[in-house]
A = this chain, B = another copy of it.
């Protein structure tokens, strides 16, 4: 893939959490930086309370690490965990693709139409079409958010809230990973998305899983190839 951008913002308590989150991902708060509550409070123009609650959410996401009475520090850059993160995506997303295909075949067999499924399916079609358009216009930044939306929409097709929740969980680090060094694989990745959806629509569980796994593996390889060519800025 070639994906940054939030799915729908896992969001913390207020949107202060989202702002801190974005500032960590974009490097405003460098890894290892001590995040002092009073400093953040005046920086974001709120009191310490919402700051603290935001830090708890960010801690759960693995973007900061906290110790009692010792404060919070920005987590190490996720580049070290890149291999793990991609492998997690491979196993989780191939599982969701497989489940989505299973649901598709079940829905094809039954005659009662699932409203939510049709809605999601329509959204995916729109995303894919929009992707083709922005590729034609060479607006690759927009492709990145469409890509993220595609992968989460597929996960939602699976109907497995636990899987979706876990993918949300790692989405922060995935975004962080990509924000460090932007890939240009979007155009190549797009036809693969259509291939994935074709397998799902056809109800081919094994193929959907395999195609999704290959897709993520390719984006992993593309990522590491780019990384070795141009190492990330070590903030």
Contacts and interface: CB of A to CB of B under 8 A. Distances in A.
Given A56-B57, A87-B160, 16 more contacts: A12-B56, A13-B56, A49-B49, A52-B53, A53-B53, A57-B60, A60-B60, A62-B165, A81-B161, A84-B160, A84-B162, A88-B162, A91-B95, A162-B173, A166-B166, A166-B170
Interface in A27-58: 49, 52-53, 56-57
A92 interface: yes
A227 to B, nearest CB: 17
B60 A162 contact: no
Nearest to A92: B91
Nearest to A61: B60
6 contacts: A52-B53, A81-B162, A84-B161, A162-B173, A166-B166, A166-B169
Contacts of A53: 52-53, 56
Nearest to A10: B60
A12 B68 CA distance: 11
A91 to B, nearest CB: 4
Nearest to A95: B91
